[in-house]
Chains A and B, each alone.
Chain A
Amino acid sequence: MGKAEILKAIKKNKPEKLPIPSLDFPSSNGQDLKTLYEERLTAGGGEVISAKDKAEAEAIVKERMGDYKFVAGAFEALNTIDLSAIRDPHELELLDLAVFEGVLGVAENGAIWVNEEVLVHRAAPFITQHLVLFIREDQLVDKMHEAYKRLRAHDYGHGVFIAGPSKTADIEQSLVIGAHGPKSLLVIMLPPA
């Protein structure tokens, strides 16, 4: 009974039809996307390192791993866990580090889009203690408008823009990194393919 009642009330109460605006926003004004990306992600508590290729990116991650025991993701040689072998996402609780390839990055806010296809498990980038995303420079767009233009063509069950480590300011507005999810986010920037 909810649906019919609600639709009836809307039809009775809604105003005359109003037009929908066009979305024509100026694109990049020649700003260097990589520099802007780095500035904005850093403001969100993340870190950016440039690497000349995937091998160097892998070496950077390896050096960072320290005594992490459980590692999973895109750099297979470093993995101690095979994400595709895991059935129950609760088992991901032991993850120290997860590494994924970003689909696209947004310079104006430092966000990187990843989806189920890349993540294998939707929970993976949230439940892991630390997160590394790598992305190619030519996958950076300037603003969210451009990002959604590109994502339009994608089919996904779940996808997420990630713009830093998990954080909170709920205790007297003091910023604390590492609320529920990763305590750090490292983005490795690779040159265009």
Chain B
Amino acid sequence: MSHPSEAKKFVKNENRVNWHDQSLWHVREKRDKAVNLFPEWEQLREKASQIKSHSLSNLDYYLEEFEKNATANGIKVHWASDAIEHNEIVFNIFREHGVRRIVKSKSMLTEECHLNPFLEKHGVEVIDSDLGERIVQLAKETPSHIVMPAIHKKKIEIDELFQKHLHTRPSNGDENYLTAAAREHLRQKFMKADAALTGVNFGIAETGEFVVCTNEGNADMGVHLTPLHIASMGIEKIIPRYEDLGVFIRLLARSATGQHVTTYTSQFRKPREGAELHIILVDNGRTVQLGREKYRRSLHCIRCGACMNTCPVYRRSGGHSYQSVVPGPIGSILSPGIDMKKHASLPFASSLCGSCSDVCPVKIDIHKQLYSWRQDITREANEEPAKKFSMRFAGWLFTHPNLYKKAGKFGRKALKILPRWMIYNSLNAWGKQREIPEPPKQSFQEWYQQNRQKNG
């Protein structure tokens, strides 16, 4: 598994790559428009970053404060060290209540814990209720983007999928017709569900409440109808004060889709009368990441997806090529922390242009962390052998100026006259899917000497 080999499948179809690229760039442009409407954007980012840094430096305190206040509000709080514990807690609560059918609202954390297959194995019907998530669920795929899970799918493919599973008529990808069909289908599921599961955007220590943001209202449709609501929350989602929410709500939707706010910002403080409300605080590797000074700031992430929308590599290689729950630039610094060997190629799937860091609403230095991971990985894991050999050879050559000069001269000539197979082969990792630039007539050194002599 490596990003280049997975991306190869996606880049085969050039039209699709261009379409994917443009769809995401369009979202990036919407973000810019929303952000540029008011002057305190940078101040907001700075405050958000400071709040998150402070919060992480007191994480144990705020989690306990959250637990205390949530419990006083009647919420049942659970703690899970890893994905297995999380899934067992969920299933035990379901078993107690005899739950057989659940509706789930988008949660990257439950994806991370592979909750769906676990519950299905135990005979629980799991329906992802966010339209994009439902689409990828029907297609037996995973989300390719954290905010727009089905961004990789064409209308016509969704049309065919719905014909097969929801028995719709062929509509040539009419989005209004397809959304209406999904609405009817999912309303039936909402009406019959025994329990609802959601993620958490923000947990507030001071009040013991949590916030769930959606545009479709699917989280609310689920939880307000069923007698049991379980919310799964990564421990880094905690913020200290009630008023900190003002900062994050202003940043989230604008960064994600260019909306000023999501349609619904739903705040849960107490269970509904006659219903139960549970929250699971999940570690699953986050405390380890907290201990890595260089990568700690990745825990600021509020999962807006802005870094993906702007990333030239993500836009052209598709989310699935990352083979990781969170794709794109932020995923490429989170995933190696979980399994460095498996995700060794991800930090290299970047141009290091820094655009991801520029749009990040919580000021994560994403491109610097990517660069840092490259060094750690090259030291500890292994790079592609051809590149490794070439790099070592180049390193040696650079320390021998005379040889370097001669090699340059030879190279400029050789590139012109050598047959293609000698330049584009498996030893040259830089000649894959791209043409080597035409060699200049002379080196800079030659040019400099010539011109300096001329100018005296």
Q: A interface vs B, CB < 8 Å?
A: 1-3, 5-7, 9-21, 23, 25-26, 40, 43-45, 89-90, 93, 106, 108-111, 121-123, 126-127, 143-145, 147-149, 151-152, 156-174, 176, 178-182
A11, B64: Cα distance in complex, Å: 13
A89, B272: Cα distance in complex, Å: 11
A148, B281: Cα distance in complex, Å: 25
Q: Are B266 and A160 in contact, with the CB atoms below 8 A? A: yes
Decide if B269 is an interface residue (CB 8 Å cutoff): yes
Decide if B438 is an interface residue (CB 8 Å cutoff): no
Decide if B178 is an interface residue (CB 8 Å cutoff): yes
The proximity string for B residues 294-314 relative to A, scoring 1 for CB distances below 8 Å and 0 otherwise, is 001000000000000000000
A158, B229: Cα distance in complex, Å: 13
Name which residue of chain A comes closest to B273, CB basis.
A157
Interface of A is mostly: loop
* Chain B residues bordering chain A, tally (CB within 8 A): 92
Q: Are B296 and A2 in contact, with the CB atoms below 8 A? A: no
Decide if B60 is an interface residue (CB 8 Å cutoff): yes
Q: Identify which of A1, A12, A108, A172 gathers the most chain B CB atoms within 10 Å of its CB.
A: A172
Offer 21 A-B interface pairs, CB within 8 angstroms, sorted by A. A6-B287, A12-B291, A14-B56, A18-B50, A18-B54, A18-B56, A20-B241, A23-B246, A25-B40, A25-B44, A26-B40, A44-B260, A143-B246, A145-B250, A158-B267, A161-B265, A163-B263, A168-B131, A170-B130, A170-B149, A171-B178
A169, B44: Cα distance in complex, Å: 27
Contacts of A169 in B (CB 8 A): 148, 215, 257
Q: How distant is B74 from chain A, measured CB to nearest CB, in Å?
A: 8
Contacts of A161 in B (CB 8 A): 249, 261, 264-265
Decide if B288 is an interface residue (CB 8 Å cutoff): yes
Q: Identify which of B38, B56, B220 gathers the most chain A CB atoms within 10 Å of its CB.
A: B220
Contacts of B135 in A (CB 8 A): 170-171
Q: Are A178 and B266 in contact, with the CB atoms below 8 A? A: no
Q: Identify which of B78, B158, B290 gathers the most chain A CB atoms within 10 Å of its CB.
A: B290
A144, B59: Cα distance in complex, Å: 25
Q: Are B47 and A21 in contact, with the CB atoms below 8 A? A: yes
A167, B268: Cα distance in complex, Å: 22
Contacts of B179 in A (CB 8 A): 168, 171, 176, 178-179
Name which residue of chain A comes closest to B263, CB basis.
A164
Interface-facing stretch out of B117-125, B182-190, B401-409, B420-428: B182-190
Q: Are B175 and A171 in contact, with the CB atoms below 8 A? A: yes
Known contacts A145-B246, A179-B216; decide if A2 and B263 are in contact (CB<8 Å): no
Q: Are A111 and B63 in contact, with the CB atoms below 8 A? A: no
Q: Are B225 and A14 in contact, with the CB atoms below 8 A? A: no
Known contacts A7-B64, A170-B131; decide if A2 and B260 are in contact (CB<8 Å): no
Q: Are A18 and B53 in contact, with the CB atoms below 8 A? A: yes
Q: Are A126 and B263 in contact, with the CB atoms below 8 A? A: no
Decide if B27 is an interface residue (CB 8 Å cutoff): yes
Known contacts A7-B64, A144-B245; decide if A166 and B79 are in contact (CB<8 Å): no
Name which residue of chain A comes closest to B55, CB basis.
A20
Known contacts A148-B243, A166-B215; decide if A172 and B155 are in contact (CB<8 Å): yes
Known contacts A170-B148, A173-B26; decide if A89 and B60 are in contact (CB<8 Å): no
Which residues in window 191-215 of B have CB below 8 A to A?
A: 191, 215
Decide if B85 is an interface residue (CB 8 Å cutoff): yes
A139, B362: Cα distance in complex, Å: 31
Contact of B183 among A40, A110, A147, A178 (CB under 8 A): A178
A167, B131: Cα distance in complex, Å: 10
Q: Are A179 and B131 in contact, with the CB atoms below 8 A? A: yes
Q: Are B250 and A158 in contact, with the CB atoms below 8 A? A: no
Q: How distant is A130 from chain B, measured CB to nearest CB, in Å?
A: 13
Q: Are A181 and B221 in contact, with the CB atoms below 8 A? A: yes
Decide if B351 is an interface residue (CB 8 Å cutoff): no
A26, B257: Cα distance in complex, Å: 25
Q: How distant is A158 from chain B, measured CB to nearest CB, in Å?
A: 6
A165, B259: Cα distance in complex, Å: 13
Q: Are A172 and B246 in contact, with the CB atoms below 8 A? A: no
Known contacts A20-B54, A163-B262; decide if A170 and B23 are in contact (CB<8 Å): no
Decide if B271 is an interface residue (CB 8 Å cutoff): yes
Contact of A7 among B63, B130, B241, B271 (CB under 8 A): B63
Name which residue of chain B comes closest to A167, CB basis.
B215
Q: Are B130 and A10 in contact, with the CB atoms below 8 A? A: no
Contacts of B26 in A (CB 8 A): 173
Contacts of B287 in A (CB 8 A): 6, 9-10, 13
